[in-house]
Structure 1
Amino acid sequence: MPDDAVGRAAAEARAAAEEESAFSHPAVDPDATAAYGDDPDQVIDFYTPRVAVSPGGGLAPLVVVLHGGAWRAPYDRRHVTPFADFLARRGFAVANVEYRRGGVSVPAQGAAAGGGADGVGAGGGGAAGGGAVDVVPVAGRWPETFDDVAAAMDALPGLVREFLPQGDPRRMVVTGHSAGGHLALWAAARHLLPADAAWRIDRPAPLRGVVALAPIADFTVADKLDVCGGACRQLLGSGEEFTARMPYADPALLLPTGIATTLVQGRTDTVVPQAVAEAYADAAAKAGEVVGLTLLEDVGHFPLIDPAADACAVVAEEIAQLAW
């Protein structure tokens, strides 16, 4: 086998092992759940801090978690509950947010089945003209995905006081993985949205910072790289819709935020490649803002949310640096 083929095979095997490890942990039930709307997906799970690390036993910093999964319906907040629990065991109060995702499946003859939380395939299949076809879940819902993140962030301070009194909403850090990293960056940039955006707020959100994990942070670059099987165009729409909606959705166009931001990225990530995070950091620099970019050697996409991985401890430390 040629050396390059051997290298690709080894990289694929390592990525598969990383994904398997991240999804091997049992889901962790929350201490409380609250609704921020009427839809079944408009809920937030709360995890109380497992240890008291605040000076004098005061309130713990609040970490808001936005899960990934390419904004696709099969992947909900349950897959990051071990990560939420990991943060709670580090002394954080944690809010794990659910939101509406792309729920419509379209037949795609010959589409690839299977795949992980950020893959294209969802398995399944059905009859079409007498033959089996796979189905591909659509990424995101416009505008509902954004409606929900905005509503959840607006409702959080009140819900925390009622359902997570150990948490301090005045020390709030938003983190998100992959598609959730996009949403975390977007949530911190709502004051920069176009004036006619329903989600726009008048001043920066009261955040200590954002820690975005392998985020889909620059839609132009992500689209060129076909990240997550064209997820960006599925989220915003194709053609003229994609172009028209970019100023309302692309974090790289919503800078500078004035909010401390760190990106954590694995160098061997093939799901959301390093180039996407670098493009966002470059855009921030051009806008006069310094964004931290922590690059982890020999780390792919999923160790960032895997409590068994060293990369997850790095993520917790990055959050702590902003929260405490």
Structure 2
Amino acid sequence: MSEDRSVLTRSAREPDQELRYGDHADHVIDYWQAKNPRPLVVYIHGGFWRPEYDRMHARPLGAALADLGWPVASLEYRRVPGEPDTTTTDIRTALDALPDLVDVQGGYVLVGHSAGGQLALWAAATHNPVRLRGVVALAPVADLLLADQQMLDDGAVQAFIGSGVRNDLDPVHLPAPIASVSILHGVNDTRVPIQLSESYFTAHPTARLTRVPDCGHYELIDPLTDPFNDLTTELARLTT
């Protein structure tokens, strides 16, 4: 079954602001405001940590969630092959900077897709950001060792970490986050097989794992599909 990748190139309403959390070109956050807003959604995009995939493909998601009442901060971060600590430093710095950039008094939910799901789970487990209400990981690369063994995206894990094993970056080997964790994963996902999320759930049974039927890798971030409703339902649960 082929994956529908149309959301990656679809145009969408631009963010209301572009906020900066550092001096590098990638130290930027797309921010959508919302009328009568709910708590903030902080989004970390995927793309197997590769430089060619940036936050632009997350704009349909950001605009759609803002239209539904959630303000959205979509994080950009450096993606340098073989330098994973550059990426994680950016995620940590961006989360630390949030209270000075946007209103987080009502708390926020950290959402990540694919490789962004790995980064969201890593951040929640190692950083425990202030005012974090919960994590929603969408088809996350939640087990780096298993992803590496399966050679996902032509060896994306080794391209990301450089070489060897980095259990300190691997959600399945990290402690369970203090904040609640919810994982949504399509049963038809061919990019990041659902076995990775099942492995995480086995290691951390306090998490919630929802196996989404008739769903591949991209539908969870595509506002034009039914599985996107699974995301909004989970956000409503965490922000009500």
Equivalence map 1:230-245=2 (5 Å): 230-238=155-163, 242-243=164-165, 245=166
Amino acid at match of 1:263: I
Determine whether 1:281 maps to 2:197: no
Determine whether 1:222 maps to 2:147: yes
Match of 1:178 among 104, 108, 114: 114
Partner of 2:95: helix, strand, or coil? Answer: helix
Match of 2:67 among 73, 76, 89: 89
User: Contact conserved, 1:60 with 1:93, CA < 8 A, in 2?
Assistant: yes
Determine whether 1:143 maps to 2:70: no
Determine whether 1:65 maps to 2:1: no
| Deviation of the 1:187 alpha carbon | 1.2
The verdict on how the C-alpha distance between 1:32 and 1:204 changes in structure 2, with shifts beyond 3 A counting, is closer
**Runs of 4+ that moved beyond 4 A:** none
Rounded to whole Å, the distance in 2 between the matches of 1:204 and 1:97 is 15
Amino acid at match of 1:268: N
Rounded to whole Å, the distance in 2 between the matches of 1:173 and 1:277 is 19
Determine whether 1:267 maps to 2:187: yes
Provide the residue aligned with 1:195 in structure 2: none
Percent of aligned positions that are identical: 42
Determine whether 1:40 maps to 2:36: no
| Deviation of the 1:220 alpha carbon | 1.5
How many residues align? The count is 240
| Deviation of the 1:170 alpha carbon | 3.4
| Greater C-alpha Rg | 1
| Deviation of the 1:215 alpha carbon | 0.3
Provide the residue aligned with 1:309 in structure 2: 225
Q: CA RMSD in A?
A: 1.5
Rounded to whole Å, the distance in 1 between the matches of 2:171 and 2:178 is 13
Provide, for residues 170-191 of structure 1, a one-character-per-residue CA deviation record: whole Å limited to 9, x for no partner: 3200001101111111111124
User: Contact conserved, 2:51 with 2:79, CA < 8 A, in 1?
Assistant: yes
Amino acid at match of 1:311: P
Rounded to whole Å, the distance in 2 between the matches of 1:44 and 1:314 is 25
TM-score, with length taken from structure 1: 0.71
User: Contact conserved, 1:204 with 1:257, CA < 8 A, in 2?
Assistant: no
Amino acid at match of 2:24: D
User: Contact conserved, 1:209 with 1:323, CA < 8 A, in 2?
Assistant: no
